[in-house]
Amino acid sequence: MYKVLFSLLRLLSRMPLGVHYFFADWLLYPIAYHLVRYRRKLVNRQLADCFPEKSEKERNAIARRFYHFFCDCIVETLKLATMPHDEVKRRVEFVGIEEMQQTLRQAGKKFGFFYLGHYGNWEWMASFPMWLEPQWQGAQIYHPLYNAEADRFFLHLREQFGGLCIPMKQTMRQILEARQKGQAEIIGFIADQSPKWQATHHWTPFLRHQTAFFIGSERIARQVDAALYYVRVTRPRRGYYRAELVLITLNPQSPDLDIQSEYPATDRYTQLLEQQIREQPELWLWTHNRWKRTYEQWLERYKK
């Protein structure tokens, strides 16, 4: 079944990107937004909660732009299955990645961690290992999908550029093994998922909500002395992305940040991500139920 499905997806992927966008505009968008109304109530509620200062008309316009981008993201991800690597390098620009590698070498660092969000096409960001020098191994932390066939497909998409996919539960072990072997690594963390109750330890203001964030990346960075960066993704035009590396701290044990917090680097990441979402909200994944666990519920749960 996987081979048949994967062969079909690869065949569809070979269509020019312009054809993919045609189907996104005239097939996927009408189905997702008008016919199926995929998570429309959730999207509208979260936009209203996060942008109460905007009128309903303005929020509806954001929602429509988001669904257009959401459909673009689907076909762009499908296209990635057969897109030549030189075309990926033409369509994705990583700004500051050479300077980052030079900075890490000069500081004697073996690890650099990227903070990313579900902002822009995060699947295309998996191509960053193509920009790394041979001494660096690129990797990304991922949550394995429940569907084995879909998991295999996305592993193919993400590892085709030379990077490793590290299952979330194996993150610490894999990184410690790399340190023991002396392997220098650049690792991406998509850190804006909603943690489960047992993984909820840190709350911070984010889009007018007290919001739980994973703090594993900052904790591990302190253990292996990893520099922390934020990847500021923008979309200059359709089919092109710009990923700018913004240094958060070179010293995770005592980051030079004007933030009073147990996890200041994580809080700085949330500030940078929120700033981008406010600038261009349609590029964030609003169909994700980000606030299904509230701070008040967490307090009540741990009181008991």
The DSSP output letter for 163 is: P
SS3 256: coil
The domains of the chain are located at 2-287
Segment 190-237, tens digit of pLDDT:
999 999 888 888 999 999 999 999 999 999 999 999 999 999 999 999
Alpha-helical runs (H) found in 239-293: 264-279
Segment 236-261, tens digit of pLDDT:
999 999 999 999 999 999 988 989 99
pLDDT higher than 90, residue 140: yes
Segment 276-287, tens digit of pLDDT:
999 999 999 999
Please give the average per-residue pLDDT across 79-105, as a whole number: 96
pLDDT band, very low/low/confident/very high, at 79 (cuts 50, 70, 90): very high
Tell me how far apart the alpha carbons of residues 124 and 140 are, in angstroms, rounded to a whole number: 12
Tell me how far apart the alpha carbons of residues 290 and 294 are, in angstroms, rounded to a whole number: 10
Dihedral sign, Cα of residue 246, residue 252, residue 255, residue 261: positive
Tell me how far apart the alpha carbons of residues 103 and 109 are, in angstroms, rounded to a whole number: 8
Comparing 254 with 6, the larger pLDDT belongs to: 254
Segment 159-193, tens digit of pLDDT:
999 999 999 999 999 999 999 999 999 999 999 99
pLDDT attached to residue 256: 87
| Measured CA distances, 88 to 101, 161, 272 (Å) | 21, 10, 26
Does this model's pTM top 0.85? yes
Average pLDDT, the chain: 94
